[in-house]
Structure 1
């Protein structure tokens, strides 16, 4: 290995420590997988073999058609929330294909619940329209 050629013991220790921390850091990374409505618990082995997909969309104002920035989007039963960007776009990654209830909320707008959205890995683009309170 290259660090065996290093002359300083201190440098060897630093390189070894860096590599050890890098390996430990890579092993401890977790992936949050969102599961379909009704699947409360899934075996870890099942989730490891599943293919995940993503859901993208845009959120617009009902009256003006303008994009809404900062709208909170999440799946019902999940505590992971994403927010729309300056163009009203959002993306939720690592989703197991299935049907989901999608919740959206924004200041001065009525909360919205889109029921049984089919996320199937083929065409996962939705458009949400929010109404002012």
Structure 2
């Protein structure tokens, strides 16, 4: 049975896989010209691996959750330079690379969702242990 503690790691696994797919698709759509399009895939592999560790090893859940949280913060911060293009794309404006804007926007959304899940996990952990 899945509880809110394990749901954080299941979300990490799922969004990690989504980020891997996003990175691979973005790289292919850029005609394999931009290796930086694979950045979401790199983050996705690391996040999914930490999700598996946290799901399988209850003694490593805090470490895995903090690792996912750090990667999520880095993912959001690293993708924010694309915010002007994301806003332009959403409002119908022109952008240099639609693939990059969509990829960066998707990375921000996925990483923010992970960050919320990790914060919830940490708060619940503190409440459960009384610390």
Tell me the TM-score normalized by structure 1. Answer: 0.21
Higher helix share: 2
Tell me the TM-score normalized by structure 2. Answer: 0.21
- Pair member with larger Rg: 1
Higher strand share: 1
